Structure 1
């Protein structure tokens, strides 16, 4: 994983090639909420791939090792005044960053927000992320498809961060889809399942012990899918639901024990990195609005393809190349108003 100083090396190479002093290219920097979070690895890999599409721009990633919004905010302060050029930010606490983001905008620092909707007053021009209500709808439809018509019982819904807008939207989508398609089923939650892997596992263990006859357990965060896959009982024919492409969850999906929706964080990071790098190189303005990234349902029908995609960076790059090329060729045509983001 490179650090911000990578831009310095790029600048030296450019100067040596031309024999003339060159203005340092604005590095493209990704600041993440916690570098140990599984899907952050996907965001980061995609971000690097996106920046590499633009020659001459350095890139770096930084942020706390574990999810710590206060520590992340302290990291962000070094970038508010534009010392390192442009920034892409992924945080679980957008409201906490609103004042600092407003100061960054006033200082002329280009900022892209990634995966979490900017809080009001942030003055962030570009947000790259899912339609999370639709992510939840996709997951709810997939889970409902494995519940017999006319069935009665409960679906237990969990979220590692209740109150975080994007996860709340996913939970709403799951609830609405299940209630529409299986009206006799009661959806309970979302219950707080915690982000920490150990705490998340224990939360789901407790929920399953308290609801042994549940028709399905459904989590809207990446940690949830991992835990539910590990807790799968091979003697139970229940099909649970989750978000993400953790190896454990993909294996459970292959066994028919889960259905997943991938929020496609690699593509999110790729788009943000490429747009940020282009803006830095051209000294231009960022596009304005919400750039939505669609999710994909993963089930037994396509899980082998997704497993192959996730095996190495080359496979992921090949999988997403056409979609990225299409969107980046005309970003404005794919933008929606920021106020529509959910």
Structure 2
């Protein structure tokens, strides 16, 4: 079974780091904890059971995002795996690839492999899809057998809501076309991957959700950097705006180049999706205080608005709860679709 591409090294590191948070019964007992203490820790919530004989501390669980929680469950299930030809698939492969589970409810660990039929059988937090998985659709990421990126996206965009699916498809396209290189986007790589995904979809006439999958494969764009940006552009099109340009370069006053999330060219406006992390995440703050980051954004916005003579509107996650909510936010700035 082939390993994931070298460009996915950051995924291997992330999986290895998550794996260290799993505590096994054997390790806990070997460290001197008695069986009665282990049971007490489970009862009072200091430990959480992930799978038979595998646990995580309350602190690690509560600090984890939805994707890491699911990855913890996948890695715990992998510890109990007894060989066979099944691979982790669907949401479970998605988290191994580092794709978002945006607005997806918690799900059992998913595996796929040949059995007698295609029925999913929930048992002990597991769901098995008894379907064929070709050799080219199998990869190993940090020791974890998974479906390939293309097969994972194909499985997910057919079966999830359009919002969840577009966030995942955009992230996958970004992994293909940008990888870990900020500021560089390989259109040829994106187009080739899209063509391959569309070819798979074309060979699956009559499969569940195939019409949505075809539309999403054509719509996916890895320049959307966050799920909120992905859903924003979905809703913009649903509201009647032209498809926006993404990550539009704009020259700053000192020779720097800024990227604007959305170029709403049909209505002569700029749009930015503001994730909370822009003003709170230490990595994104890059040594600045939140107040300094806010002032920097204000100066940037003033410059862009003044030089371009275009309106500039910002929105956040609360404004993409629905398409209507985003439409209301834009209309309050006098920005209305032309269609």
- Using CA pairs under 8 Å that are at least 6 residues apart, name the structure with larger relative contact order, 1 or 2: 1
Determine which structure has more spread, i.e. the larger CA radius of gyration.
Answer: 2
- TM-score norm. by structure 1 comes to 0.26
- TM-score norm. by structure 2 comes to 0.27
